[in-house]
Chain A
Amino acid sequence: QQKVQQSPESLSVPEGGMASLNCTSSDRNFQYFWWYRQHSGEGPKALMSIFSDGDKKEGRFTAHLNKASLHVSLHIRDSQPSDSALYFCAASEQGTNTGKLTFGDGTVLTVKP
């Protein structure tokens, strides 16, 4: 069973709209979460991390973590065509720089002009 599950598989929003991506872990050892974005032909780039319950906001991006349910979400407001990419939720057992990441299977976001 995939330990980090993402939904939806794909999402289309109009420019200026709100995109909401979800992630759930089935492994309670995962306590540290990241959102990564990958454009075609590039490696993943970290958008933000979230380690504590509640919301974390960085610009147009807001992440929410509920540790009790191991559910993480990412909300992108005022979506831009340049936000079109593959988004991954990644989890780690360790809150250190040496901990390997376990990735979900990704959500394809398309922002239509």
Chain B
Amino acid sequence: NSKVIQTPRYLVKGQGQKAKMRCIPEKGHPVVFWYQQNKNNEFKFLINFQNQEVLQQIDMTEKRFSAECPSNSPCSLEIQSSEAGDSALYLCASSLSNYEQYFGPGTRLTVL
């Protein structure tokens, strides 16, 4: 079973509200990824970190998305002003040295 912990599992927000989700990577894994999986099961890479530093990120959807991985705290992904199109499963994954990405169960965001 994956040891990547994501909270909350379910998140319901109104349009325009902030939505924040957290991820604790597997112990000792220095690389963390965030992906968005929409209702059609399409994946979209959002951002990845090595330790606390951003490695790659997409143009974060008109800057409404922000993410961080502070030292000794969970990583987080926040949507400043949620839109209906943001409704999706947000997956966090972590990786060590064998290239495999270990995924958490995801946070399912519903924007009403």
Contact = CB atoms under 8 A, between A and B. Distances in A.
Interface of A: 32, 34, 36, 41-46, 49, 86, 88, 92, 95-103, 105-106
B65 to A, nearest CB: 15
Contact of A100 (B4, B56, B97): B56
B42 interface: yes
Nearest to B96: A97
B43 to A, nearest CB: 4
Contacts of A46: 100-102
Given A44-B91, A101-B33, 17 more contacts: A43-B104, A45-B2, A46-B100, A46-B101, A96-B99, A97-B98, A97-B99, A98-B48, A98-B95, A100-B33, A100-B48, A101-B35, A101-B101, A102-B43, A103-B42, A105-B41, A106-B41
Contacts of A103: 35, 42-43
Contact of A101 (B41, B45, B55, B97): B45
